[in-house]
Chains A and B, each alone.
Chain A
Amino acid sequence: MALRTIASRKTLAALGSGLRAQARLATAAAGAYSRGLVTFSLPDLPYDYGALEPAISAEIMQLHHQKHHQTYVTNYNKAVEQLVDAMAKGDAPAVAKLQSAIKFNGGGHINHSLFWQNLTPIHEGGGEPPKGLLGWAIDTDFGSLEALVQKMNAEGAALQGSGWVWLGLDKDFKKLVVETTANQDPLVTKGANLVPLIGIDVWEHAYYLQYKNVKPDYLKNIWKVINWKYASELYEKECP
């Protein structure tokens, strides 16, 4: 299935008075805020729900995409609308209060959008080890692909609560890193120079219906459908 574009443009009418917006705070002079607003929609998966079996069940893929990711998209759009509104009114407490919903739902949308591209059916190259520059960088920075996988699996298994385990690229140092983030925090929250190459969702909803409490089995099996081609493309964009 072709990927639908992630964003659709929705422009709202500009504030009536044009340049001036009313500020609620005595000290702040709020600037103008025209209501151009980009909203987001759920990206299609580039494969069928059952295409990653037996590594990840179709039931999980469908719920994960149609329920969990969709909810993040819906709630992110809602939070952004409320944020634009609060900014237009100069309502600083409301703006601050919305940051949690923005980070959580926006992060959820960002993380899952990458995740679907990090996975691919076996007959489309899922699980095929990386070649080229990324393969070489993995050997340099971790010793071998197996060593990297062990490291990510260990960190993913040890993660307390909900979160993600990442293979990231520090684009300043040109070094690969393994990182974890909590809840839906995107990788960039661990470092502004970090570019995610592969993210593995270790929230219980990502595996529980199939693997129950045995998170390590999920981590062991997901590598069979990891899309190293896509990760290599991302890597080569930053490290040409």
Chain B
Amino acid sequence: MAFRPLLTRKTLACAAGLGSNGGIATSFRGLQTFTLPDLPYDYGALQPAISGEIMQLHHQKHHQAYVTNYNKALEQLHDAISKGDAPAVVKLQSAIKFNGGGHVNHSIFWKNLAPIQEGGGEPPKGSLGWAIDNDFGSLDALVQKMNAEGAALQGSGWVWLSVDKELKKLVVETTSNQDPLVTKGPSLVPLIGIDVWEHAYYLQYKNVRPDYLKNIWKVINWKYASEVYEKECP
């Protein structure tokens, strides 16, 4: 399936003049809202690593809810900013981070996965493969580390392989809930994110998160991760 664009432009009327609390309200720009990206493969294409039922719920229900609620929060934020309502602006940050993070994280996640017949699970070659050996010793060592951290994560969250674009080093990190990787460091660029929220695996793997982690590597899209890596470390 072709990607639909992630963004649609929606322009609101400009406002000018002074805000109610004396702050200067300049004319501000329109608001970009977001749409659910299509998956680049069918819901059943990642079986048996991840079931078709999970993929469909995860995409059509969970990710869609993040998109919907992110757009809603953005509109409310836009409104609060235009009114100079600072308490409302601050209050909205939680919804912005959670739903915006959910949209950002899941958009990456769908690209991190690929059917086996399209290269899912094929180990990384080129400069990313070399960097993994350099920074972790081997691909197996990296996988063990990510699986251990993913299994140990308390509650909901993500486990990440990232590149620190300043230090040009690979890093394994975890984030809670829908916090994007950048909340752990502004120089961190996500290469691979693995969702360890229970909704990502429970219907298939029940409480046995380690089995999910063991199996997901069969459909990890290392080609995409390499592209992202080579963009930061050419």
Contact = CB atoms under 8 A, between A and B. Distances in A.
A182 B206 CA distance: 21
Contacts of B177: 160-161
Interface in B201-215: 202-203, 206-207
A64 to B, nearest CB: 9
A68 B206 CA distance: 10
A213 B61 contact: yes
A136 interface: no
Given A204-B197, A204-B199, A213-B65, A162 B207 contact: no
A209 B156 contact: no
Contacts of B176: 161
Interface string A57-92: 000000100011001000000000000000000000
B76 interface: no
Interface residues of B, number: 20
Given A67-B206, A205-B207, A162 B155 contact: yes
A205 B155 contact: no
B155 A208 contact: no
B72 interface: no
Contacts of B12: none
A100 interface: yes
B27 to A, nearest CB: 34
A53 B110 CA distance: 36
Nearest to B65: A213
Contact of B198 (A100, A160, A182, A203): A203
Interface of A: 63, 67-68, 71, 100, 104, 160-163, 182-184, 203-205, 208-209, 212-213
17 contacts: A104-B154, A160-B98, A161-B156, A161-B157, A161-B176, A161-B178, A161-B197, A162-B156, A182-B155, A183-B154, A184-B155, A204-B156, A205-B198, A208-B203, A209-B206, A212-B203, A213-B65
